[in-house]
Structure 1
Amino acid sequence: MIVSVASGKGGTGKTTLAVNLAAALGRKAQLLDCDVEEPNAHLFLRPEISHSRKVGTPVPLVDADRCTLCRKCAEICRFNAIAVAGRQVLVFADLCHGCGGCTLVCPEQAIAEVDRELGAIDFGTCAGPDYVGGRLRVGEAMAPPLIKQVRAAADPRRITVVDAPPGTSCPVIAAMHGADFVLLVTEPTPFGLHDLRLAVEAVRLLGIPAGLAVNRADLGDDAVFAYAEQQGLPLLMRIPFDRAIAEAYSRGQLLVDADPCWRGQFQALYRAIETLVRQGGAVPCANS
């Protein structure tokens, strides 16, 4: 089972849901922190990092002596990562998506591939779930290849909880792709509703069953709940606006440890997700 915890905007409590769900499941679970630009799940799980691995992406290296300036490499690149200027081939490594198309079409075999470092993946253990987290290199813009590597490091024998990046752009799609279920997290505010709509559209495109968790559920208005009902999006958890919860969060303490009653609630949340997946529920985001 792969459960991706996502949100249309930052600050809704996505990581809170992800780490507590994984902790409530204990040793049979693993947490993948795919929010590689701002990873923070480790602050709550406090894993002992056993090892790290650098991750790179292939970029072209042009042999000027063999190149005939035919421009086929530049014509195939949809991201303008390689260009011919006068008698010179220019490579813009930061724009390269590592597809390898330029190496395939070069008639002179003048293009080889070298690795460009994207970041690193940390592997760790703690009292509960195993931990795998990605760290994007400072200044790097290409998050999806690193997220895919974090996803590939998952242990298929365990329940996988993915802490996805916020938003609805390419990194989020990479974190949600191939999941069995997406748990969308939002807050009952106009901003929360606006970005929930965007997240629902993304899940609809991927065709993945989804459910909703509402954080700070007793604030704001009822528009989020009305939208969820309209879309057939099952409401699986409400977390109240509570000072004790905020204090635990500020200390980096798991909610399931600060108040043991929450452990049972997160375990019940997983059972509800498991039931929805087992029943083969349709994507709960049908057009209204």
Structure 2
Amino acid sequence: MRIVIASGKGGAGKTTVTACLAAQWKGELMLADADVEAPNLHLLLHPSLAEPETVCLEVPELLADKCTGCGACRPMCAYGAIAMLGAKPMYFQDMCHGCGGCFAVCPEQALRVAQRELGALLLGTVQAGGRALPFIMGRTRVGEAMTPPLLRAQERRLAAELLAHPADVLMDAPPGVSCPAMTAARKADVVLLVAEPTPFGLYDFKLAQAAFAQLGRPIAVVLNRVGMQGNAACEEEMRAWCAGAKLPVLAELPFEREAAEAYAHGVPPTEAAGSTGQRWRQRFAELAAQLRNFAEGPCHA
């Protein structure tokens, strides 16, 4: 079972929810951070990581001595990565999507395969709930604008790891509804949307629900920072909207200063000291059970 934990906006709390669920989850589990542009699940879970594995994209490089300047490659590039300057094409590798079309149409075979570094994959283990859990994260190269190819590489590696060691997956998705978020969620069994009941949060939550609904996956909701001063009207509107859209709200997590302090020190609220940690462990034990029941419900089988 693969559960993708997503949100309509950054800062809604999906990473905290992922980290807190990890220690309370029953059964075999693997954790994945797919927010490759700004991964931060490791800041809460502190994994032991192996050396990064570089991920590259195959892009064209011109062999000038073979090129006749016919220009066949330029009109077929849908991404504007090829321009004709005088009698020769120029390739903008940072704009290339790696489709390979230019190789296919070049009559002189005047291109060779080059590599553009996209980023890296990092694998390791996390100590959560008294056990070691496998962990995978991606991290884009500084300046790299294209993340879906790196996410697809992460997906292939995740699939290989699961083939060798079957487990449930909790995936911290990229925020929002752009290509990275949809790429990460396309193989989800369930999408858990973490929503912040603020005016911006409500608007972005509705966009996220509409986008993820296109995947045809069951969607459930967690309301985060409930009870924050000034947000009562947004909370009621979000509950009413979820009821109208038939979206189950599996948990309402309260706004607590102690939880925010734990997060600020790189500690999930479930691992906070004293009664704070006890309260949050109970909340997430209940959420984990409800989430599994929702995912394994007869209407989702």
Which TM-score band (shorter chain)?
over 0.9
Conserved? CA contact 2:118–2:144, under 8 Å: yes
Task: Name the residue aligned to 1:109.
Answer: 109
Q: What pairs with 1:51-70 in structure 2 (closer than 5 Å)? A: 51-70=51-70
Task: Name the residue aligned to 2:291.
Answer: 273
Secondary structure (helix, strand or coil) at the match of 1:160 reads strand
Secondary structure (helix, strand or coil) at the match of 1:51 reads coil
Residue identity matched to 1:122:
L
Secondary structure (helix, strand or coil) at the match of 1:239 reads strand
Mapped partners of 1:23, 1:107: distance in 2: 57
Once the two structures are superposed, what CA deviation does each residue of 1:9-46 show, in whole Å capped at 9, x if it has no partner?
Answer: 11111110111112322772121111111111111111
Once the two structures are superposed, what CA deviation does each residue of 1:95-152 show, in whole Å capped at 9, x if it has no partner?
Answer: 1111111111222222222110011111111223222111111111111111222222
Task: Name the residue aligned to 2:254.
Answer: 240
Gaps of 5+ in 2: none
Residue identity matched to 1:120:
A
Secondary structure (helix, strand or coil) at the match of 2:84 reads strand
Once the two structures are superposed, what CA deviation does each residue of 1:222-248 show, in whole Å capped at 9, x if it has no partner?
Answer: 111111111111101111011111111
Task: Name the residue aligned to 1:138.
Answer: 142
Secondary structure (helix, strand or coil) at the match of 2:4 reads strand
Mapped partners of 1:24, 1:68: distance in 2: 63
Residue identity matched to 2:56:
G
Q: 1:263 to 1:130 in 2, by over 3 A?
A: farther
Mapped partners of 2:198, 2:105: distance in 1: 51
1:123 is the counterpart of 2:123: yes
Mapped partners of 1:153, 1:108: distance in 2: 36
Mapped partners of 2:214, 2:68: distance in 1: 43
Mapped partners of 1:256, 1:152: distance in 2: 31
Task: Name the residue aligned to 1:99.
Answer: 99
* TM-score (ref. length: structure 2): 0.88
1:8 is the counterpart of 2:19: no
- Please report how far the alpha carbon of residue 70 of structure 1 lies from its aligned counterpart in structure 2 after TM superposition: 2.5
Mapped partners of 1:152, 1:20: distance in 2: 26
1:226 pairs with one of 240, 243, 265: 240
1:175 is the counterpart of 2:203: no
* TM-score (ref. length: structure 1): 0.92
Task: Name the residue aligned to 1:79.
Answer: 79
- Please report how far the alpha carbon of residue 257 of structure 1 lies from its aligned counterpart in structure 2 after TM superposition: 1.8
Mapped partners of 2:149, 2:285: distance in 1: 32
Equivalent pairs, count: 282
Secondary structure (helix, strand or coil) at the match of 2:11 reads coil
Q: 1:280 to 1:83 in 2, by over 3 A?
A: farther
Residue identity matched to 1:278:
E
Conserved? CA contact 2:71–2:88, under 8 Å: no
Cα RMSD over matched residues? 1.7
Task: Name the residue aligned to 1:286.
Answer: none
Task: Name the residue aligned to 1:285.
Answer: none
- Please report how far the alpha carbon of residue 280 of structure 1 lies from its aligned counterpart in structure 2 after TM superposition: 5.4
Conserved? CA contact 2:9–2:204, under 8 Å: yes
Q: 1:60 to 1:245 in 2, by over 3 A?
A: same
Mapped partners of 1:247, 1:27: distance in 2: 30
- Please report how far the alpha carbon of residue 264 of structure 1 lies from its aligned counterpart in structure 2 after TM superposition: 4.3
1:201 is the counterpart of 2:210: yes
Task: Name the residue aligned to 2:265.
Answer: 251
- What's the % identity of the aligned pairs? 43
Mapped partners of 2:172, 2:107: distance in 1: 43
Once the two structures are superposed, what CA deviation does each residue of 1:69-89 show, in whole Å capped at 9, x if it has no partner?
Answer: 222211111101112222111
Conserved? CA contact 2:67–2:88, under 8 Å: no
Task: Name the residue aligned to 1:153.
Answer: 157
Secondary structure (helix, strand or coil) at the match of 1:203 reads helix
